Amino acid sequence: MQPALNSRAKQLGSSEGIAPARPILGTMAHSSGPCMTLEQIRGLVTADFEAVDRVVKQRLHSKVALVDQVASYIIYAGGKRLRPLLVLLAARACGHSGERHVDAAAIIEFIHTATLLHDDVVDESSLRRGRDTANEVFGNATSVLVGDFLYSRAFQIMVTLDRMRIMQILADATNAIAEGEVLQLMNAHDPNTTEARYIDVIRRKTARLFEAGAQIAAVISDATPEMEQSLALYGRHLGTAFQLVDDALDYQADEASLGKHLGADLAEGKPTLPLIYAMQHGSEAQRTMIRLAIENGGLDHLEEITRAVASLGGLAYTARLAQSEADQALAALAPLPESAFKEGLSELAKFAVARKN
């Protein structure tokens, strides 16, 4: 997949035959009509979503009070819950009529939450979803250990599903996520990070859990191998598009709606795609400014860098690449039978690139 992606990226980066994209990600979604809101998409599986909340609350419980407190603090911090929503829609799109998809969705939510706890410690983040991070409130050691609790609880639920195939998919996914975290750490403060290295991190760190969620939804539904592979590809491209948009929003969103400090990636020395592209196309002075900011993890020139990223086409390029990934996610759904749930998956891909926070 990587060579094809790089080839596609070069095509998207060429100005020949491509109208300049406006640096507003919300205008990039393709659809035959108005996109559904996230609330409307969730409405397709309201009962399932409520069941997931009940399972999460039940399985979150620990006899150790601090575990309860920290895990609840982050799980109920107001996230979009895209990953469990993906599992529910994918399972229903495959014709699943039992209850196991609810447990599968809870597993994915626990794994995701564990990664957030660990991420915030590694990144020394102080704000997530508009409020203090768990490590800011409870300390780094507590956050790491509660993250470990959530990982192990996810695997406890996994065992109850009694499907070795699901164990294999999720074991491989969590291993890939850990590798992605280490790769991102290696890229930190390195202005020589290439687009290929950046995409590799996204594929492992973010997209892999989307991919695993969609895939296990097919497995518990006893879907055909073609449908399983199609949903895995859908999840992979959806997750990649989602992260690309996330990284662009760091340089253009309203801080209140974004739920974190603007320029947080730059402050952590993360060379994301908007910066990588700007360095490739900027003047010597602009390249030097961005390079030093990445190396030092500083926000002294955030306003100038933000303007440079936009004027040099970094946001527009990232938006086009995100749209390409979303289009590939939509194409991957072709083998699925027509249903409201398949339409929900389509709308989820459109939402991933149209969102503004």
Residue type, 218: A
Give 268-288 pLDDT, tens digit per residue: 899 999 999 999 999 999 999
How far is 146 from 248, CA to CA, in rounded Å?
Answer: 30
Q: How confident is the model at residue 111 (pLDDT cuts 50, 70, 90)?
A: very high
- What tokens were used for 99? 């209850």
- Cα 215 vs. chain centroid, distance in angstroms? 16
What is the Cα–Cα distance from 356 to 351, expressed in whole angstroms? 10
Say which residue the tokens 């993250």 belong to: 147
Measure the N-to-C terminal CA separation of the chain; round to a whole number of Å.
28
How distant, in Å, are the alpha carbons of 38, 42, 78, 348 from that of 81? 10, 10, 8, 12
Residue type, 162: D
pLDDT at position 24: 39
Q: What does the block give as tokens for 334?
A: 């072709």
Res 80: pLDDT: 85
Tens digits of per-residue pLDDT, 21-38?
A: 333 344 344 444 457 899
* pLDDT, tens only, 118-176: 988 888 888 776 788 889 989 999 999 999 999 999 999 999 999 999 999 999 999 99
Task: Say if CB 135 and CB 101 are below 8 A apart.
Answer: no
- Residue 115 CA to chain centroid, in angstroms? 11
User: Cβ(92)–Cβ(341) under 8 Å?
Assistant: yes
The closest of 168, 197, 64, 170 to 114, measured between CA atoms, is 170
| Start-end of H helices in the chain | 2-13, 38-42, 46-60, 65-75, 82-93, 100-123, 134-138, 140-161, 164-187, 195-202, 208-220, 225-249, 255-258, 264-267, 273-281, 284-296, 302-311, 314-332, 340-354
User: By the 8 A CB rule, do 60 and 72 touch?
Assistant: yes
Least confident of 53-62, 125-134, 144-153, 258-267: 258-267
345 neighbors 230 (Cβ within 8 angstroms)? no
- The one-letter amino acid code at 201 reads V
* Residue 65, Cβ density class (10 Å: 0-12 exposed, 13-18 middle, ≥19 buried): exposed
Give the dihedral of Cα atoms 117, 120, 123, 126; nearest 10 deg: -160
Whether the model pTM is above 0.85: yes
The identity of residue 272, as a single letter, is: T
User: Is residue 41 pLDDT above 90, yes or no?
Assistant: yes
Q: Following DSSP, what letter does each residue of 151-209 receive, concatenated?
A: HHHHHHHHHHH--HHHHHHHHHHHHHHHHHHHHHHHHTT-TT--HHHHHHHHIIIIIHH
